[in-house]
Structure 1
Amino acid sequence: MSLFVKYRIENRQLTAENRVFLDQLTFGQQVASPDATQLPVTLAVALLKNRNGEIDINLPISGSLDDPEFSIGGLIVRVIVNVLVKAVTSPFALLGSVFGGGEELSTIDFAVGEAKLTAEAQKRLETLGKALIDRPALKLDIEGHTDLQSDPEGLKRYRLLSKVRALKREDLTKKGVESGSAETVEVDAKEYPALLERVYRAEKFPKPRNLIGMVKGLPVEEMEKLILANTVADEEELRDLADRRAKAVLDGLLARDVPAERLFLLPVKLVASDGKADAAAQARESRVALSLK
């Protein structure tokens, strides 16, 4: 262990830096003691110790020399306890103070009804992956969520768009154009109405007809409304959506070389958000929740 200290007293006010460097800190066998701390020391050390087994931490303190309760030792202990408490209450904030990202790293958000990682999600996984590699003692629980208020409609709309993309992909394939998967096919605003009408006419639900019994042509909004109204997103599909979200996060971290034995998929969770909340608030449960251990 090495210690660098810098103390400054001005107008009887102390400002101090206490930089502590610990190399290869390990714990012995746990011993039952009434004086033992109940704080998560092991988790805190895992958050602070880098891949080389080093802990480099600054413990700043300040106080008035005129304070009758002033104690340098007491202040240092208080700072250390605060670090340990932060490991329980805000472990991602503690991790984010080193790698960036802060508490936001505790969730990976998804578009409503979708399980595809967004650009922002990829950015968070990049930061989280680097942090986990540099903190080899940490393990991560991954819990996929779906929102029972907003995800069913989002899932139905996503399924509709997938059918539109699949039709365009079929058209491109017939023309000998390589288009990749349907997920990557782009549909522009001019193409969409005609493709949507083909999807609409292929659906099996009853449709408005004209005087001679032919299926009536409808505006885009009405076709979408009828298709969505006759599409069901049941609980099994919502659980599958949550599962696919969790696996997308898992795969994203594995692709960033985080060892599989440190990543754990938890049972998925279907969350009933407040139906009166705004769309942004509801979408917060369209996510994957992460927890460190």
Structure 2
Amino acid sequence: MIKVFGLANASTTPAPSRWTPAVSSDTCIVPTFLTVWCAIVVLPLLVLFAYSFFDTQFYATVYRPSFTTWISIFQSGRLEVALRTLRIALTVTAIDLVIAFPFALWLAKGSASKGTKAIVIALLTIPFFLDLSSRTIIWRAIFDQHGTINTTLLDLHIIQAPLSWMLYTEWSVHFGLIIASFPTMVLPIYLALSIIDDSLLQASADLGATPAQTLVRVIIPLAMPGVMAGMLLTLGPVLAAWIEPAMLGGGFVNLLSNSVESAYTSLRYPVVAALSTFVILLLAALLVILLLVARRFGDAMSTFRVMRS
């Protein structure tokens, strides 16, 4: 009996592995990923930052450390251009957020059928497969003094003269940027809202919360990861946008991207590096502000914490 029990215990004990790797896969993957990431992302940014401290003389780069390029940026009127770019970027992001959040909430929690969701999401993804310049030039044909809107209003005798403010103004640039960045704002918010458990909303209603209270205390905090992602995906491209200001601004609305293009065509590469570095620092500052604002609504990863609990 002792031998039998001994055999039974031996049979149920798992056999030791014949081969155990000396180094785990995570130990190799993480350093490799960090090395590749530093080589592809961090190193070019450091080179860009270092290049901004060079100077340009007679259309040639002088590889000598100097603050001349940075000083010239803030003394040549580009500070006003930077403030205009920041104002337009924040305005476009705010308008997109105000429009996209109710739309994403309806799409995630209020639409009647899955077919409606599929059609709307497909329509939102179509712009990603189209060239931005081809999408933007359409608005020139619509907003031009001889375009669709002005021609229709003139034929209906609603206006006596074409509306000149509809094109080559800040209004047209705002409109083009809002339309172009709307899908990148609404899709992350929709994803964050769609994974919120409906039982949480029902529990809020059962506890006597009004729809407004449920929105402020439940939905918005849980949707903050999507809101932050949408704002970042909107702020970054808008700060660096140059197609919309060029086509819809007509040279009358200059942004930092237009200054970068002008410096590049005139072979002033240190100025290009300084302006690009300034945009990156500006975006980083806005990211810090967004993180501080997100903390007002709780942990930014609260959505996934709720899903795990």
Asked if these proteins are the same fold (TM beyond 0.5), I'd say no
Structure with the bigger percentage of helix? 2
Structure with the bigger percentage of strand? 1
For normalisation by structure 2, the TM-score amounts to 0.22
